[in-house]
Amino acid sequence: MTTIIDTRVQTTARARHVGTAAVVRWEVRKLAHQWRAKAVLLGALLGPIPVVFIIHGQSRPPKDTLFGRFATENGFALALLILGFAAQWVLPLLTAIVAGDIFASEDQHGTWKTVLTRSTSRGRIFWAKTLASVLFAIVTLAVLAASTITSSVLIAGNAPLTGLSGQQVAPGDALALVSASWASMLPGMLAFTCLAILLSVWSRNPAAGIAAPVVIGMVMQLVGALGGVEPIRPFLLSTGFEAWHGLLTDPRYTRPLLEGAVTSAGWCLVTLALAYLTLRRRDITGG
């Protein structure tokens, strides 16, 4: 445990206090050099543009999805249509590409022993990797939302939006509501981040860590769409992804947003606790 990797930390007197921050910085730096993470961010930035062009160019609007019937002529509706689609699997996938890999890649490359020779604890590395994944999820969602909303409004126009109670929403209010709807995806996306972390730690396999959260997300959606499963609906992460509907009605209802945030926090708490215990108790010397 004497190998010096980050000399700045070692030479300051406050080494103990800045320990976690230094490890977080290290993890973020590792992420920034990963082609995978860069590809996700680039995809989030550029991906919405062709999607917006293609939907805007349709002669028949995609009416079977909420806001689809206005999507070809209204930028706000188009951004909300893409939001509904992104919540199905895009958001879980984007966060899982990093979070599902961040622990398992150390197994894949056999680098746990090397990492743990740094003068820091296993717990600290766990929290640093978790924090780096969370930061990445926040940045990815912000980039995706900004890109989608900007390109939708620029390409399909900013006419007043027809809300989910048939009410007309002025462009200024519509922009705020659409942005808030995109922001409301954050708790659910972070819950998927935590789930991906658990699967990453537990499976030690990046492929499982990335694919399993997406599959679990889709199963939750399928279950949530069934009738007669009302008691378990509030516990599904997919329910929180639909809570933004309440922002677009008149009068608004925000309780599903609150419930979605609580559910996401619960999932995060449980999955992170399991992941932490699994990692703490793992015998890495053999790895």
Partner 1 sequence: MRRTVIPILATLVAVVAIAAGAFAVNGGSSSITKARLERSLPTTFSNLYVQRARIQGRTDVTAASLHATAMCDKGGAALPDVGPGGDWNCLMSWTDPQVPMPQEGYGKFELNVHSNGCYTAGAPSKLVGFMTMTDATGRTVTNPVSEFDGCFDPQGDNTPTGNSFPSLLSVLSTTVQPTVDHRAPIQISCGTGDGGCAGTVSATSGGVSLGSMGYAVKEEQTATLTLPDPMPAGASDVTFTFAPTKGVASTKPTTISSQG
By the criterion CB under 8 A, which residues form the site for partner 1? 63, 66-67, 69, 162, 164-168, 202, 224-235, 239, 242, 245-246, 248-250, 253, 255-256, 270, 274, 277-278, 281
- Identify the bridge partners of residue 161 per DSSP, sorted by sequence position: 169
Rounded to the nearest whole angstrom, what is the least distance from the CB of residue 270 to partner 1 in the complex? 6
* Closer residue to partner 1 (CB): 10 or 165: 165
Q: Which residues have a Cβ under 8 Å from the Cβ of 273 and sit 6 or more positions away?
A: none
Contact 235, 223 (CB under 8 A): no
Rounded to the nearest whole angstrom, what is the least distance from the CB of residue 258 to partner 1 in the complex? 11
* Closer residue to partner 1 (CB): 9 or 279: 279
Rounded to the nearest whole angstrom, what is the least distance from the CB of residue 230 to partner 1 in the complex? 5
- Identify the bridge partners of residue 287 per DSSP, sorted by sequence position: none
* Closer residue to partner 1 (CB): 110 or 228: 228
User: What's the rounded Cα separation, in Å, for the pair 55 and 78?
Assistant: 8
* Closer residue to partner 1 (CB): 15 or 164: 164
Tokens 């976690």 belong to which residue?
Answer: 20
Rounded to the nearest whole angstrom, what is the least distance from the CB of residue 143 to partner 1 in the complex? 27
* Closer residue to partner 1 (CB): 25 or 56: 56
* Closer residue to partner 1 (CB): 26 or 67: 67
* Closer residue to partner 1 (CB): 215 or 225: 225
Rounded to the nearest whole angstrom, what is the least distance from the CB of residue 229 to partner 1 in the complex? 8
Instruction: Examine residue 62 and say whether the peptide bond preceding it is cis (omega within 30 degrees of 0).
Output: no
Tally helices (H) and strands (E) across the chain.
Answer: 14, 2
Tokens 């989030």 belong to which residue?
Answer: 44
Q: In 3D, which of 131, 101, 111 has the Cα closest to residue 36? A: 101
- Any idea what the Cα angle at residue 145 is, between residues 219 and 170, rounded to 5°? 110
Q: What is the dihedral of CA 64, 65, 67, 68, to 10 degrees?
A: -60
H/E stretch holding 171 reads: helix 171-183
Rounded to the nearest whole angstrom, what is the least distance from the CB of residue 210 to partner 1 in the complex? 19
Question: What single DSSP character describes residue 120?
Answer: S
* Closer residue to partner 1 (CB): 110 or 227: 227
Answer positive or negative: Cα dihedral of 184, 251, 266, 83.
negative
Rounded to the nearest whole angstrom, what is the least distance from the CB of residue 110 to partner 1 in the complex? 20
Pairing verdict, β 168-169 and 161-162: antiparallel
Rounded to the nearest whole angstrom, what is the least distance from the CB of residue 251 to partner 1 in the complex? 8
